[in-house]
């Protein structure tokens, strides 16, 4: 067992651990900010089999991708854990799932999913030898616990959580590994060689976190005017936002509509060779950061403490300090008034461009260089993301 690291001494290592279950069944950004904690677990328990209890997208994304986990177990729809709290559960599917989990006899089960109201009963039902994680007032207890506090950096929270079982992390930077399949998919969608690539990400799951398409278009036009190719990315549900950005641009001839054309892996391959990502506070932003690709993200101040960047050399944020709903005027700190109006559109495009310009002018990503100028990695060096 190694010594030293973040939150050292918070929890004792557990002896005889052969299998670990980790509950983290949420969205893309939530998984990425958990990767430093997962790496800490892997380093603390190098011979244990680590199972991520997640969703179908986790299984697809992590298939054949080096990572700290050995497998993804897709959980059944569970109210408050992967599905809305009021949604009905399939009792038979639940019973089959928990019976299979109990038969595995996990040594550790970690609740890294949230405050514990719904997730702690889920983790306790796994039947592990020892449970650990977070709790809010009224949540069922685990064997080792930390309070779940609002407005706390999520990445650090998760590192503190795994420290409960003696896993003391040594880094706070998320990292993801890009595969040959990712690169091939990205190259098919956006062939290399069109000059510096700038990616715009105008969508997000919460419309209140979305900067307007006109603002994104202004940024796109700025960098297109400097010779960049502009890739506007989004899911099929975000097609209208992507199209609105391109329609508002003057340099439409330098813009590409990537709506629904890339899997998460393909997007990772594209981001790897991008000069810059300008984004809302959403999953692809975290993906770019996990590749150390320069980012400028537009944040609402209420979301920044929990999910802002952990380094400043290649990442910048433009922050909206709006507290009141643009529709009803209600103060929305800790309250959802039910309106979908943007809380971040007060951020001016000129502010984002000023933050983005020096990042764009920085060193190009290695895969955007010509082959004869590209510095090849030392074959003896470990690949990023590999833990064993």
Task: Pick the range with the lowest mean pLDDT from 52-66, 138-152, 293-307, 351-365.
Answer: 351-365
Of 119, 127, 32, the C-alpha closest to 78 is: 119
From-to residues of CATH 3.40.50.2000 in the chain: 19-163, 180-368
Max alpha carbon distance in the chain (Å)?
63
pLDDT digits 0-9 by tens, 153-183: 999 999 999 999 999 999 999 999 999 999 9
**Cβ atoms 154, 33 nearer than 8 A:** yes
Tell me the CA distances in angstroms from 183 to 94, 177, 266, 270, 321, one per residue in order.
38, 11, 7, 7, 38
Which residues, 6 or more positions from 76, have their beta carbon under 8 angstroms from its beta carbon? Answer: 89, 90, 93, 94, 97
What is the dotted CATH code of the domain comprising 180-368?
3.40.50.2000
> For residue 286, what pLDDT is reported?
97
> Cα Rg for the chain, rounded, in angstroms?
22
**Cβ atoms 198, 233 nearer than 8 A:** no
Laid out side by side, the sheet with 255-257 consists of: 255-257, 229-232, 197-201, 276-280, 295-300, 315-320
**Length in residues, the chain:** 388
> For residue 194, what pLDDT is reported?
77
How confident is residue 369, by pLDDT bands cut at 50, 70 and 90?
A: very low
Assigned architecture for domain 19-163:
3-Layer(aba) Sandwich (3.40)
Mean per-residue pLDDT, 194-210 = 93
Q: Which two tokens stand for residue 104?
A: 């595995």
pLDDT digits 0-9 by tens, 272-309: 999 999 999 999 999 999 999 999 999 999 999 999 99
Give the separation between CA 74 and CA 76, rounded to whole angstroms.
Answer: 7
How confident is residue 365, by pLDDT bands cut at 50, 70 and 90?
A: low
Determine the 3-state secondary structure of 198 from DSSP: strand
What is the chain's mean pLDDT, rounded? 92
pLDDT digits 0-9 by tens, 86-123: 888 889 999 999 999 999 999 999 999 999 999 999 99
> For residue 83, what pLDDT is reported?
86
Tell me the CA distances in angstroms from 145 to 16, 20, 105, 141, 246, one per residue in order.
21, 17, 21, 7, 48
């Amino acid at each position: 067992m190694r010594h030293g690291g973040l939150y050292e001494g918070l929890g004792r290592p557990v002896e005889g651990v052969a299998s670990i279950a980790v509950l983290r069944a949420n969205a893309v950004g939530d998984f990425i900010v958990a990767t430093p904690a997962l790496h800490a677990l892997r380093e603390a328990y190098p011979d244990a089999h680590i199972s991520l209890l997640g969703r179908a997208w986790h299984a697809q994304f992590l298939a054949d991708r080096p990572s700290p986990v050995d497998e993804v177990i897709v959980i059944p729809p569970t109210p408050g854990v992967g599905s809305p709290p009021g949604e009905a559960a399939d009792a038979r599917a639940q019973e089959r799932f928990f019976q299979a989990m109990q038969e595995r006899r996990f040594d550790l089960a970690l609740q890294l999913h949230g405050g514990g109201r719904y997730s702690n009963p889920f983790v306790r039902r796994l039947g592990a030898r020892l449970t650990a994680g977070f709790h809010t007032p009224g949540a069922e207890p685990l064997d080792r616990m930390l309070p779940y506090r609002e407005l706390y950096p999520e990445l650090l929270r998760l590192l503190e959580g795994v420290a409960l079982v003696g896993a003391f992390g040594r880094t706070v930077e998320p990292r993801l590994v890009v595969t040959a399949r990712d690169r091939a998919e990205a190259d098919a969608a956006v062939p290399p060689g069109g000059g510096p690539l700038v990616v715009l990400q105008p969508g997000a799951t919460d419309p209140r976190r979305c900067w307007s398409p006109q603002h994104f278009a202004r940024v796109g036009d700025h960098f297109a005017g400097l010779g960049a190719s502009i890739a506007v990315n989004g899911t099929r549900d975000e097609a209208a936002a992507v199209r609105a950005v391109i329609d508002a641009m003057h340099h439409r001839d330098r813009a590409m509509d990537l709506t629904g054309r890339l899997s998460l892996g393909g997007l990772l391959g594209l981001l790897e060779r991008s000069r810059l990502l300008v984004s809302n506070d959403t999953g692809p932003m975290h993906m770019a950061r996990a590749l150390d690709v320069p980012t400028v993200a537009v944040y609402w101040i209420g979301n920044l403490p929990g999910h802002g960047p952990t380094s400043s050399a290649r990442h910048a944020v433009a922050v909206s300090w709006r507290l009141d709903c643009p529709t009803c005027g209600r103060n929305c700190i800790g309250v959802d008034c039910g309106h979908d109006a943007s809380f971040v559109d007060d951020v001016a495009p000129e502010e984002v461009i000023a933050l983005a310009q020096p990042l764009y002018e920085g060193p190009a990503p290695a895969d955007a260089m010509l082959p004869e100028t590209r510095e090849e990695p030392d074959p003896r060096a470990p690949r990023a993301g590999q833990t064993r």
